[in-house]
Structure 1
Amino acid sequence: MRDYREISLWKNVTPEEWNDWHWQLSNRITDIEALSEIITLTPEEKKALNDDLLELRMAITPYYATLMDPNDVNCPIRMQAVPTSKERYTAEEDFYDPLAEDRYAPVPGFVHRYPDRGILLVTDQCSMYCRFCTRRRFAGEVDRPKSREEIQAAIDYIERTPVLRDILITGGDPLTMEDENLEWLLTSLRRIPHVEIIRIGTRVPAVMPQRITRSLVSMLRQFHPLWINVHFNHPKEITPYSTRALNMLADAGIPLGNQSVLLRGINDCPYIFKELFHKLLVNRVRPYYIYQCDLSRGISHFRTSVGKGIEIIEFLRGHTTGMAVPTFVVDAPGGGGKIPLMPNYLLAQGERRVVLRNFEGTITVYTEPEDASSHCHGCKEICMRQSTSSGGGVSELLEGSRLQLEPQVLKREERRHQWMEEKKDQSLNTSKPECPFL
Structure 2
Amino acid sequence: MGTKRGEINGKNMWGGDLFSSSEKEEPPSIIISQKVYFWQKFPLYENVSPDEFLDYRWQIKNMIRTPEHLFNAFPFLTEEEKKNIEAVAKIYPILISPYYLSLIDPYDPNDPIRKQAIPTIDELFDTESIYDPLEEEKDEAAPGLVHRYPDRVLLITTNFCPTYCRHCTRKRILGKGRTVKSLLEFDKVLDYLREHPEITDVIVSGGDPLTLPLHKLKMILDGLKSIPSIEVVRIGSRVPVTLPMRLYDRELLNLLSKYDFLWLNTHFNHPNEITEYSKRAVLNLLKIGIPVNNQTVLLKGVNDDVDTMRKLFKGLLRIKVKPYYLFHCDPTKGVSHFRTSVYKGIEIMEGLRGHISGLAVPTYVIDAPHGGGKVPVMPNYVISMSEDKIILRNFEGMIFSYLNKPSKRKNKERGKKEEGILSLFEGEREYLIPVENLRMKRRSEKSNP
TM-score by length of structure 1 reads 0.83
Of residues 101, 117, 141 in structure 2, which corresponds to 1:65?
101
2-structure distance, mates of 1:194, 1:100: 26
SS of 1:137's equivalent in the other structure is helix
Residues 1:155 and 2:184 are matched in the alignment: no
The more displaced of 4-13 and 330-339 is 4-13
- Structure 1 segments of 4+ aligned residues over 6 angstroms from their partners: 142-145, 371-374
Aligned AA (1:70)? P
2-structure distance, mates of 1:310, 1:296: 21
Residues 1:364 and 2:400 are matched in the alignment: yes
Q: Provide Cα deviations, 1:81-118, integer angstroms capped at 9, x if missing partner.
A: 011111112222x1121001000111220000111100
Residues 1:331 and 2:364 are matched in the alignment: no
Of residues 343, 360, 365 in structure 2, which corresponds to 1:307?
343
1:257, 1:286 within 8 Å by CA — same for their partners in 2?
Answer: yes
What is the alpha-carbon root mean square deviation over aligned residues? 2.3
Q: What are the residue-to-residue correspondences of 1:188-337 with 2, within 5 Å?
A: 188-212=223-247, 213-337=249-373
Q: What are the residue-to-residue correspondences of 1:392-411 with 2, within 5 Å?
A: 404-408=433-437
Aligned AA (2:215)? E
Q: Provide Cα deviations, 1:280-331, integer angstroms capped at 9, x if missing partner.
A: 0011111000110001101110000001111110000001110110000000
2:157, 2:179 within 8 Å by CA — same for their partners in 1?
Answer: no
2:390, 2:402 within 8 Å by CA — same for their partners in 1?
Answer: yes
2-structure distance, mates of 1:133, 1:250: 27
Residues 1:77 and 2:106 are matched in the alignment: no
SS of 1:355's equivalent in the other structure is strand
Quote how far apart the aligned CAs of 1:407 are.
Answer: 4.4
Aligned AA (1:154)? V
1-structure distance, mates of 2:433, 2:200: 29
Residues 1:23 and 2:58 are matched in the alignment: yes
2-structure distance, mates of 1:143, 1:126: 14
Matched pairs, number? 383
Change (3 A) 1:189 1:75: same
2-structure distance, mates of 1:260, 1:155: 30
Aligned AA (1:304)? T
Percent identity over paired residues? 46
Residues 1:100 and 2:119 are matched in the alignment: no
Q: Provide Cα deviations, 1:328-363, integer angstroms capped at 9, x if missing partner.
A: 000001100000001000111111211110000111
Change (3 A) 1:136 1:409: farther
Residue 9 of structure 1: aligned partner: 44
Quote how far apart the aligned CAs of 1:371 are.
Answer: 6.2
Quote how far apart the aligned CAs of 1:226 are.
Answer: 1.3
Residues 1:118 and 2:158 are matched in the alignment: no
2:67, 2:94 within 8 Å by CA — same for their partners in 1?
Answer: no
Unaligned runs of 5+ in 1: 375-393, 395-402, 411-438
1:310, 1:341 within 8 Å by CA — same for their partners in 2?
Answer: yes
1:201, 1:229 within 8 Å by CA — same for their partners in 2?
Answer: yes
